[in-house]
């Protein structure tokens, strides 16, 4: 019941939060000193040319009118036109979303697959050399600058050793788009050459993004397992003669997982933040790279669109986390 109330409450705040975010991004973008219009008009533009373009993009109108037009547009799924590419921003964002989601998904799954068992291991063998080694590893994961790690990986694995491609998502045009997830699309098409190529391109960015995520997963799994092990309930179960292993896997792990799921929001936030620069380093054609290119073009319409979409993705993800949490954690539902 409480989970339901929580969910409804969260949902009710979704729209106002987005509107607030929109107001913030709009305010920020209109402090802008750049003149993107002069840029689109080109190197040799004249004053009339620029004035004509300003009228075309509606930036000659008063600020409140522009804000109102923008809100109306967003409500209809129209984020305006990129000042640089002159295509609808929503097309660009939608076109690039699958690349980011695929990368984020692979990174999270990989970090969970590796992070949860390692976290349990560290907890079960706490204070062993393994625990200490893993702790250094987790602390490093959260202290390393993702863009630097990305560059080091490129330097070592792509430039020096030549084991992986340096950058990009696929060599050339990639598989025919069905879902936009190249791993799935190439597998569906049965094109295993492309599939291998996609995997090869994905390794370095996914490891770079997954490393801090894995560190977080490990950290919270370990803490969750330890808390559970030390709880009275476990003592009771052990006293009742339930085998140690069964207690760990049935009860302790479940509780530890709950702890990790609660942190998914945090992990996702971290992941998206890192994705901006990691995509830029690997030239991964997702939202992050789009944002960085927009920065270089001072394309503030595009940056606003990016911020809103990331905000929405993030809010929705947190909502899902809350709901999942309510479902798997018995304490929440009472």
Partner 1 sequence: MATFRFLLRKLAADRTAALGALIVVLLVAVAIAAPVLSTHPEDVTEFHPPERLLGPSGDHYFGTDRMGSDVYSRILFGARITISIAVIAIGVSVLIGVPVGLVAGYYRNWASDALMRVSDIFLAVPQIVLAIAIAQTLGPSIENVILALSATYWPFWARLVYAETRSALNETYVEASIALGASPWRVMLLHVLPNISSSLIVRTTIGMGGTILTAAVLGFLGLGPPAPSPEWGRTIAESREFLPEAWWYATAPGLAIFLVVMGFNLLGDGLRDILDPRTRRSTDG
Partner 2 sequence: MRLFDHSPRLVRLAAAAVLAAGAAVAAPAQAGGKFIFANSSAYDTLDPHAIFDVGRVASRINLYDGLMRWFDNPPHLEPWLAEKVDISDDGLTYTFTLRDAKFHDGSPVEASDVAYSIDRILEMKKGAYSLFEGTVAPGSTKAPDAKTVVFTLSKPSAIFLATVPEIHVVNEELVRANEADGDLGTAWLSKNDAGSGSFRLTRYDPAIGWQATRFEDHFFGWDMVEDPLDTIEFRTVVEINSRVLGLMNGDFHGTDGYLPQDQVKRLAASENVVVDEQESMRIFYSIIHNGRPPMNDVNFRKALSYSFDYDGFIDNILSGSVARDPVPLPNNMWGAPADVEGYTYDLEKAKEHLAMVKEEVREITLGALAGYGQTEQAAALLQNGLNKIGIESKIVSETWPVASGKMRDEEQMYDPLFLWKSTYYADPNNWLGEMYACEQIGARNNSWYCNEEVDALLSEARTSTDQALRKANYEKANRLLMEDAAGIFVYNTKWFGPFNKDVKGVRFSPIGNGQEMRWVSMD
What does the binding site for partner 2 look like in residue numbers (CB under 8 A)?
33-49, 52-53, 84-87, 92, 95-96, 154, 158-159, 166-168, 171-174, 283, 285, 293, 295-299
> Cα dihedral angle (177, 178, 183, 186), rounded to 10 degrees?
-70
Contact 301, 82 (CB under 8 A): yes
Whether the Cβ atoms of residue 131 and residue 177 lie closer than 8 Å to each other: no
Nearer to partner 2, 56 or 132 (CB): 56
23 vs 94, beta carbon nearer partner 2: 94
DSSP 267-302: HHHHHHHHHHHHHHHHT-TTHHHHHHHHHHTT-HHH
Q: Minimum distance from CB of 23 to partner 2 (Å)?
A: 24
Structure tokens that stand for 247 in this block: 């207690």
Binding residues for partner 1 restricted to 3-22, rule: CB under 8 A: 13, 16-17, 20-21
Partner whose footprint covers residue 53, from partner 2, partner 1, none (CB < 5 to 8 Å by kind): partner 2
Residue 248 bridge partners (DSSP): none
Total Cβ atoms within 10 A of residue 49: 15
Joined together, the tokens standing for residue 34 give 């750049």
Q: Which two tokens stand for residue 265?
A: 């929001």
Q: How many CB atoms lie within 10 A of CB 32?
A: 11
Q: What is the DSSP string of 56-74?
A: HHTTTS-HHHHHHHHHHHH
| Residue 43 binds: one of partner 2, partner 1, none (C-beta under 5 to 8 A by kind) | partner 2
Q: Is 61 in the site for partner 1 (CB under 8 A)?
A: no
Q: Is 39 in the site for partner 1 (CB under 8 A)?
A: no
Phi, psi values for residue 61, rounded to 5°? -85, 165
Q: Does 28 bind partner 1 (CB under 8 A)?
A: yes
Question: Do 6 and 326 touch, CB atoms closer than 8 A?
Answer: yes
DSSP-derived 3-state class of residue 320: helix
Taking CB under 8 A as the binding criterion, the range among 86-94, 153-161, 168-176, 237-245 that sits at the site for partner 1 is 153-161
Residue 85's binding partner among partner 2, partner 1, none (Cβ under 5 to 8 angstroms by kind) is partner 2
> Does the footprint of partner 1 cover residue 144 (CB under 8 A)?
yes
Partner in contact with 76, chosen from partner 1, partner 2, none, beta carbon below 5 to 8 Å by kind: none
- Residue 167 touches which member of partner 2, partner 1, none, C-beta under 5-8 Å by kind: partner 2
Q: Report the distance separating Cα 115 and Cα 148, nearest Å.
A: 22
Question: Which residues form the interface with partner 1 (CB under 8 A)?
Answer: 13, 16-17, 20-21, 24-25, 28-29, 31-33, 126-127, 135, 139-140, 142-145, 147-149, 151-152, 154-155, 159-160, 219, 222-223, 226-227, 229-230, 269-270, 272-273, 276-277, 280, 291-292, 295-296, 298, 300, 303-304, 306-307, 310-311, 314-315
């Amino acid at each position: 019941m409480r989970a339901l109330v929580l969910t409804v409450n969260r949902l009710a705040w979704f729209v106002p939060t987005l509107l607030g975010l929109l107001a913030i991004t709009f305010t920020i973008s209109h402090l802008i000193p750049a003149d993107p219009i002069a840029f689109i008009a080109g190197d040799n533009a004249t004053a009339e040319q620029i004035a004509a373009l300003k009228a075309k993009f509606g930036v000659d109108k008063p600020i409140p009118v522009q804000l109102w037009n923008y809100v109306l547009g967003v409500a209809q799924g129209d984020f305006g036109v990129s000042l640089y590419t002159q295509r609808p921003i929503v097309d660009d964002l939608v076109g690039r979303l699958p690349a980011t989601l695929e990368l984020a998904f692979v990174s999270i799954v990989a970090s969970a697959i590796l992070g949860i068992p390692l976290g349990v291991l560290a907890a079960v063998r706490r204070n062993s050399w393994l625990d200490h080694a893993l702790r250094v590893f987790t602390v490093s994961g959260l202290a390393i600058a993702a863009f630097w790690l990305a560059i080091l990986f490129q330097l070592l694995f792509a430039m020096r050793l030549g084991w992986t491609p340096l950058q990009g998502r696929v060599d050339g045009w990639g598989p025919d788009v069905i879902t936009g997830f190249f791993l799935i699309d190439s597998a569906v098409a049965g094109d295993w050459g492309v599939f291998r190529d996609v995997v090869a391109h994905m390794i370095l960015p996914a490891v770079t993004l997954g490393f801090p995520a894995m560190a977080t997963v490990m950290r919270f799994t370990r803490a969750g397992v330890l808390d559970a092990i030390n709880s009275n309930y476990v003592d009771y179960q052990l006293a009742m003669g339930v085998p140690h292993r069964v207690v760990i896997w049935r009860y302790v792990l479940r509780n530890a997982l709950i702890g990790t799921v609660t942190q998914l929001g945090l992990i996702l936030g971290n992941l998206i933040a890192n994705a901006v620069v990691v995509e830029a380093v690997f030239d991964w054609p997702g939202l992050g790279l789009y944002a960085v290119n927009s920065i270089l073009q001072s394309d503030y319409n595009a940056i606003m669109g990016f911020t809103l979409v990331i905000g929405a993705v993030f809010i929705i993800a947190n909502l899902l986390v809350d709901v999942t949490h309510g479902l798997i954690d018995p304490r929440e539902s009472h």
